[in-house]
């Protein structure tokens, strides 16, 4: 079997995949989110590692531990620090959703490299990415940062941390994760000296960059369930999902509905820096050759449903939202802009805050629930409308992630995009992608063609209703939300 670990934003999933690509065991463990101030989001790395161990133990209890390789995928821009020798962290990781670094970025505006950042990285300057988070720590926590400078503390994304713990010290990352830090030159495939100088980060603290597939490290039996197996697959979660959906050709696209919604479209082996509100990212690197993708990120998708559940207490379980939303024929003019952690692509308004529009005395929680699902579909449409400027047309969309089990949401998405929405048999595409990369890396599967046969489509959705009026109302609500914030 292949063991795959998906270290996500709210929990860790582990799966065992056999040589036919079937998931034969699954484990899951949530871990806490920490919100020390409004707009700040942190994770305790020890709690992440505990969740990794718990989820993997669940898989071992169900399926044994006859594993040939390990694949790892992860929440991406979240960045942590840990001691090189002890692997203990001096502070919490700063999560991709965290918005504290807006001021840090403004403080760099007069630097000579500032205007070059997007052309070098494919990424706009935004608190979303890792580099500004590290810059914030260097400014605000100098005692911790002095150990980064002297080499006793290293930094990395969550893949690097999990690998360090599983191998007892290897410090590596793959090209897809490196491309999310805003420290990586997407043209050369290396850490950029200009960007390291801009953000004041020492090269010695960063992990080595490796391929996304192939044996790049080995687990330490004393650290990892008595196992000595190759770490043979690494990718950021959204790139892993694109790979797990076997979208290997130019134009192939997927949307993962998780905490956020993440849309990637394969654009081939030449990076094209975009000016349409989207970003260019490394999808994966195989045998030294990088495949790129156009990406749009919605900061709040499933997190909006969690907010309705936990803070507004409209229902007790997230899967109840579909029944509640179906209990009304439409949203009765209610529009929800779920900018609870800012607006991502294609707007890039980190200061935006969520808003509800069109409320009346007759508005019910069902209308708000339906408006929330509509908002997810509208945000994805925003991104694909922007993607059309690349000249690559969307012909169909593969979907995955927890919210992709919501049939009403997928029908709304088909109505908005006007293309076929395809949900595969296994919607754990992120973890599957890590397993596919690992299996490919050690020869379990011979080539990309062999992977295409492993996860067939379970259900498709096609356009049934016109959604233009609702979408126009959404655009008005977004403009009003941005205008309110800017005042």
- Distance, in Å, from the CA atom of 280 to the CA atom of 269, rounded to the nearest integer, reads 12
What pLDDT score does 181 carry? 97
Does residue 172 have a pLDDT over 80? yes
- Distance, in Å, from the CA atom of 201 to the CA atom of 438, rounded to the nearest integer, reads 31
Give tens-digit pLDDT for 3-44.
Answer: 999 999 989 999 999 999 999 999 999 999 999 998 899 999
* Number of domains making up the chain: 1
Question: Is 326 part of any domain?
Answer: no
Question: Is 405 part of any domain?
Answer: no
CB-side exposure of 378: number of CA atoms within 13 Å? 25
- pLDDT mean over 155-162: 98
Contact 232, 441 (CB under 8 A): yes
Question: Is 376 part of any domain?
Answer: no
387: pLDDT confidence band, cut at 50, 70 and 90? confident
Contact 60, 1 (CB under 8 A): no
Give tens-digit pLDDT for 203-261.
Answer: 999 999 999 999 999 999 999 999 999 999 999 999 999 999 999 999 899 998 988 89
Does residue 389 have a pLDDT over 80? no
Q: At a CB cut-off of 8 Å and minimum separation 6, what does 72 contact?
A: 4, 5, 7, 159, 162, 163, 231, 233, 234, 434
Question: Is 201 part of any domain?
Answer: yes
What pLDDT score does 276 carry? 80
Q: At a CB cut-off of 8 Å and minimum separation 6, what does 254 contact?
A: 241, 242, 245, 247, 263, 264, 397, 398, 399, 400, 429
330: pLDDT confidence band, cut at 50, 70 and 90? very high
Instruction: Look up the domain containing 191 and give its range.
Output: 2-238
Question: Is 379 part of any domain?
Answer: no
Q: Which of 24, 1, 130, 11 is nearest to 71 (CA)?
A: 1
Give tens-digit pLDDT for 393-439.
Answer: 888 999 998 899 999 999 999 999 999 999 998 888 899 999 999 99
* CATH of residue 231: 3.30.420.40
Helix (H) or strand (E) holding 459: strand 457-461
Question: Is 203 part of any domain?
Answer: yes
- Distance, in Å, from the CA atom of 305 to the CA atom of 325, rounded to the nearest integer, reads 12
DSSP 374-409: HHHHHHHHHHHHHHGGGT----EEEEESGGGG-HHH
The overall average pLDDT reported for the chain is: 94
Question: Is 284 part of any domain?
Answer: no
Question: Is 266 part of any domain?
Answer: no
């Amino acid at each position: 079997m292949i063991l795959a670990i998906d270290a996500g934003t709210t929990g860790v999933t582990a799966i065992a995949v056999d040589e036919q690509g079937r998931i034969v065991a699954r484990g899951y463990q949530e871990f806490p989110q920490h919100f020390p101030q409004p707009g700040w989001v942190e994770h305790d790395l020890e709690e992440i590692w505990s969740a990794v161990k718990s989820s993997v133990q669940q898989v071992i209890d169900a399926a044994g531990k006859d594993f040939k390789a390990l694949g790892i995928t992860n929440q991406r821009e979240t960045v942590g620090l840990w001691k090189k020798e002890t692997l203990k962290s001096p502070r919490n990781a700063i999560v991709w959703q965290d918005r504290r670094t807006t001021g840090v970025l403004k403080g760099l505006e007069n630097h000579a490299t500032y205007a070059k950042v997007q052309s070098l990285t494919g990424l706009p300057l935004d608190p979303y990415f890792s580099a500004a988070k590290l810059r914030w720590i260097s400014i605000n926590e100098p005692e911790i940062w002095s150990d980064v400078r002297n080499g006793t503390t290293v930094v990395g994304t969550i893949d690097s941390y999990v690998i360090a713990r599983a191998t007892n010290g290897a410090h590596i990352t793959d090209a897809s994760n490196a491309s999310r830090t805003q420290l990586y030159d997407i043209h050369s495939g290396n850490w950029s000296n200009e960007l390291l100088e801009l953000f004041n980060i020492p090269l010695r603290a960063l992990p080595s960059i490796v391929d996304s597939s192939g044996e790049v490290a080995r687990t330490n039996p004393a650290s990892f369930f008595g196992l000595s197996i190759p770490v043979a697959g690494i990718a950021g979660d959204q790139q892993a999902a694109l790979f797990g959906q076997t979208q290997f050709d130019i134009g192939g696209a997927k949307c993962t509905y998780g905490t956020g919604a993440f849309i990637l479209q394969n654009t081939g082996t030449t990076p094209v820096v975009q000016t349409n509100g989207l970003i260019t990212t490394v999808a994966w690197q195989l045998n030294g050759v990088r495949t790129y993708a156009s990406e749009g990120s919605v900061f709040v998708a499933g997190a909006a449903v969690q907010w309705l559940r936990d803070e507004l207490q409209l229902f007790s379980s997230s899967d109840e939202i579909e029944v509640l939303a179906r209990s009304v024929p439409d949203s009765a003019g209610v529009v929800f802009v779920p900018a609870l952690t800012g607006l991502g692509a294609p707007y890039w308004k980190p200061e935006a805050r969520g808003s509800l529009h069109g409320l009346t005395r007759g508005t019910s929680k069902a209308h708000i629930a339906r408006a929330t699902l509509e908002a997810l579909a509208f945000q994805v449409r925003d991104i694909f409308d922007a993607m059309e400027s690349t000249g690559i047309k969307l012909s169909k969309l593969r979907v995955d992630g927890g919210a992709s089990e919501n049939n009403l949401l997928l029908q709304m998405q088909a109505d908005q995009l006007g293309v076929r929405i395809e949900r595969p048999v296994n919607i754990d595409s992120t973890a599957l992608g890590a397993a596919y990369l690992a299996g490919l890396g050690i020869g379990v599967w011979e080539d990309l063609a062999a992977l295409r046969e492993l996860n067939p489509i379970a259900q498709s959705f096609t356009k049934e209703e016109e959604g233009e009026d609702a979408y126009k109302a959404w655009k008005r609500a977004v403009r009003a939300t941005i205008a309110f914030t800017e005042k």
